[in-house]
Structure 1
Amino acid sequence: MLKKRSFSTLFSALMLINGCAMMQQLHAEDEWKFTLKNAYIDRNFDQSNVKDTGSWSQGASLFYTSKFHDTPLQILDQPIQIGVDGSVQYAVRLSNDKHVDDTVLPFDPIKKEQADDYLKYGGTLKLKYDQAELRVGELWLNLPMTTVDTSRQLLTTYQGVNLKFPVMEKLKVELGHVTRNSPRNKEGFYKFSYTQNGVKHYSDGLDYINFVYDVNKDLNVNYYYGHLDNLYDKHYLGVEHKYPIAENIALHSKLRYFNSQDNSSALDIDSQNIGLLETVKVKNHSIGVGYQQIVGDAYPLPDGFLPELYFINWNVTGFFKKNEKSWHFIYGYDFKDYVPGLTSTAKYAMGDDIKMANGQKNKESEFNLFTSYTFQQPMLKGFSIQHLFAKYDQDHGNDFVENRFFINYQRKF
């Protein structure tokens, strides 16, 4: 039985998006995107004293993106343009309640219950002048500290204001103030927080600036600075280079460096992350070797399962523990010559020199196999299926096997 709250709130959210669309004349170039996502996620622990986690859920989401439209306001004979975006995300649990937090659905730690369903919605006002764009409200940020997590059911979003503009043809700048986040497994928006030694510390917001410089079509440099007020600061430097070796053969190099330091006397954070990934693509084959090293403390991540997808080595589990050194090996193949739409990637990661709180040293390893198929038949256009198999082992701790199955549908109109 679905909650009455969910239906009334869902109706209100749909009216919000409809209101966004009615604020301007609906042009043919404006975009609506409707998605369905059926997600089955199951994690089985080897240890009998640890509860297995997971759930089966069905999601339905609607996203509205307007084009920019001229307003009567002008600066130097150039109009200020306006637009609005909106989103409604809804998911219902199809499986029985496992009474354990699976990090997919909202969970009540007092009652030990998974939510029957949950809803996320937001709206964005956007203004544009020349090549500068200002957004206020719900933000979809794919940056260090604020990436959008698509690995479970509903998507992570953020709330605040940001501004993008080019300084010159090859240099683009983005800056913003993010006040709150909406994690993948919660309704609504929450303050940023970070937990250390069992104590949760809160932040009034994230201020950031991001520079992207395209040296040429094959070389890109990215610098990011984020100040998470009352918690910690992060510096990020990334360099990517693509080198065509021969016909159908290319080398893709990624070098990434992170440095985080506390900016609050209540915290003690001093951590660096250095990573290098070399990938060779030969026709339909992709082979990669990566190395990542944590210098100092375990690398800090905000509470709420907010991922750091910019890490060179990001997996189902995080290879960013204190002093950890990790290698990973990737092989991917595109079956387009045999089964168009089918791709598969295998990854094996191993980390050692991990320093645990009790002084012990630990090792960990993880194997992932990700397979995706996008239907090519005209009648099934928009449908895709995905499967992730993960096996995680460590010397001291809990081992598990995890499966994730997704059936996706997307339609734009």
Structure 2
Amino acid sequence: MKNNASKLCAVLSAGVSAGFPALSQAAESGFIADSTATLQARNYYFSRDYSDIRGPEQSKAEEWAQGFILNFKSGYTPGSVGFGLDAIGQLGIKLDSGRGRVNTGLLPVQQDGEAADEYSRLGVALKTRLSKTELKVGELQPNLPVLVFSDIRLLPPTYQGASVVSNEIAGLTLQGGHLTSTSLRNEAGDDKMQAMLGHKPQRQASSDAFNYAGADYAFNANRTTLSAWYAQLEDLYDQRFFGLKHSEPMGDWVFGANVGYYDASEDGKHLIGAIDNQAFFSLLSAKRGGHTFFIGYQAMYGDSAFPRVFANVSPLGNEVPTYEFASADERSWQARYDYDFAALGVPGLVASTRYITGDNVDTGLGYEGKDWERDLDISYAFQSGTLKGLGVRVRNVTARSNYRTDIDENRLILSYTWTLF
């Protein structure tokens, strides 16, 4: 593993040098002085048992893999217009897999049905800054209400294209972008983008253009944020989003609200057919000391399930990494409880449990669809000693449905991040 990590560092260093040949001239500028680099090692075990097969042919997906993620971010060259470079190198290594246990999302699946022994990728983005506006072109990792940064497996996905972020007006963040391809979480190459409706991938069509524009306005001492966004996965769907987030301290309590509304329809050539979806979600929270309580409600309207770019999660209040609760006409409720053990003198230890139940699903099979999910997450980040920086996370999931596959899931994730400079 050390040899593979060293190889990754060398490849990324070479890519950075090749992408910006004038590094020596910028040595005394902010380009070098403000640069940062981190290396994260991520060890990931994933097991998903399909206890009631309703679709997948295999009854179990189980793999174990080691990942390395190297991030480099430069500063900017001096002057009214500054230039810089960001780069990301990723390497995934198979530790355990087997025919009939693939498709966990950790490793690529080869034509022979076996998982690849390793896969890697190097991506570079050039950036320029004028005042408080930044333009990036190249390898991107956007995190937007219409395209969430879905880092939920061994390696994060990336996108290729251009983005602009502007903070010229206090409290107002404007963003826009044009993406042409993606590298999925378990793939090394670039490919066109596909859509999902609810939990179903729409593999019959793809697009090479995802366009988006949005605004977030924070005020009230940054305790309130209003959002408005538009997105288009060309010839597949377009989508609008309006959101409100608010946090209100009251004595020893802090109350929070996260409310959002999506409206989506088919786009252009209608390559995945007609789309009619309106989605509403609300997630309310109350925090006191180490305790945080949540209650959520989510509802789908229209004739279609919720659309999103494959295989991303969304910021829907009741969406979790196993079930989405976003099928056509679905209504769902969530109850969640988090506890931060720092309140008991154990910083770094956090536990979370939640239960979500959904019904009223239009299955198209002549009966009402219902589903529920129970999640338990425990994580610990070592705060001192030789293991400082090591994070351990355990997840256990039970999910049941009368119209899709039942799932029993376990994840164990170990991560360690080095700050190189």
TM-score by length of 2: 0.89
Distance 1:386 1:22 in 2: 41
Encode CA deviations 1:85-115: one digit per residue, 9 max, x unaligned: 101010101003243322221113x421211
Q: Secondary structure at the match of 1:153?
A: coil
SS at match of 1:176: strand
Q: Distance in 2 between matches of 1:165 and 1:30?
A: 21
Amino acid at match of 2:301: V
Please state how far the C-alpha of 1:201 moved relative to its aligned partner. 1.6
Q: CA deviation at 1:50?
A: 4.2
- The match for 2:164 is 163
Residue of structure 2 in register with 1:55 after alignment: 63
Alignment of 1:127-142 (within 5 A): 127-142=128-143
- The match for 2:44 among 16, 39, 61 is 39
Residue among 212, 218, 222 paired with 1:214: 218
**Cα 1:69–1:8 shift into 2, 3 Å:** closer
Match of 2:241 in 1: 236
Q: 2:333 aligns with which of 327, 331, 334?
A: 327
Equivalent residue number for residue 190 of structure 2: 189
Per-residue CA deviation, residues 35-63 of structure 1 (Å, 9 max, x unaligned), is 10000000112237742002100011211
Please list, as runs of the form range in 1=range in 2, the aligned pairs for 1:8-407 lying within 5 A after superposition.
Answer: 12-20=11-19, 23-24=22-23, 25=26, 27-47=32-52, 50-71=58-79, 79-99=80-100, 100-108=102-110, 110-194=111-195, 200-217=204-221, 218-246=223-251, 248-266=252-270, 267-296=273-302, 297-303=304-310, 305-308=311-314, 310-315=315-320, 316-336=322-342, 337-407=344-414
User: CA shift at 1:208, angstroms?
Assistant: 0.9
Partners in 2 of 1:69 and 1:10 — Cα distance?
Answer: 24
Specify the code of the residue in structure 1 equivalent to 2:206: Y
- Specify the SS of the correspondent of 2:15: helix
Query: Is 204-213 or 390-399 further displaced after alignment?
Result: 390-399
1:138-192 C-alpha deviation (Å, 9 max, x unpaired): 1121003322222110001111111111352122211111111111111122111
Superposed displacement of residue 318, structure 1: 1.3
The Cα of 1:361 is off from its aligned counterpart by 1.3
Contact 1:210 1:222 in 2 (8 A): yes
Deviates more, 1:37-46 or 1:8-17: 8-17
How much does 1:12 deviate? 4.7
Report Cα offsets for 1:60-98 as digits up to 9, x if no partner.
121101111215xxxxxxx21011010101010100324
CA contact (8 A) 2:8 2:90 kept: no
- How big is the shift at 1:395? 2.1
Q: How many angstroms apart in 1 are the aligned matches of 2:416 and 2:318?
A: 29
Aligned to 1:46, the other structure's residue is in SS state: strand
Q: Name the aligned partner's letter for residue 299 of structure 2.
A: Q
Structure 1 residues 128 and 195, CA gap change in structure 2 (3 angstroms)? closer
Deviations 1:303-332 (A, max 9, x none): 3x1221x11111122110010000011100
Q: Does the 8 Å contact 2:105/2:186 carry over to 1? A: yes
User: What is the TM-score with the length of structure 1 in the denominator?
Assistant: 0.91
Separation (CA, whole Å) in 1 of partners of 2:22 and 2:205: 40
The 8 Å contact of residues 14 and 88 in structure 1, kept in 2 or not, is answered as no
Identity %: 27
Q: Shift of residue 120 of structure 1?
A: 2.1
Is 1:181–1:191's contact at 8 Å kept on the other side of the alignment? yes
C-alpha contact (below 8 Å) 2:34/2:76 kept by paired residues:
no
User: Deviation at 1:119?
Assistant: 1.0
- Tell me if the contact between 2:166 and 2:174 (Cα under 8 Å) persists in the aligned partners: yes
Q: Within 2, Cα distance between the matches of 1:159 and 1:397? A: 33
Which 10-residue stretch deviates more, 163-172 or 343-352? 163-172
Amino acid across the alignment from 1:153: L
Q: How many residues matched?
A: 399
Stretches of structure 2 that go unaligned for 5 or more consecutive residues are: none
Q: Given that residues 133 and 168 in structure 2 are in contact (C-alpha distance below 8 angstroms), is that contact kept between their aligned partners in structure 1?
A: no
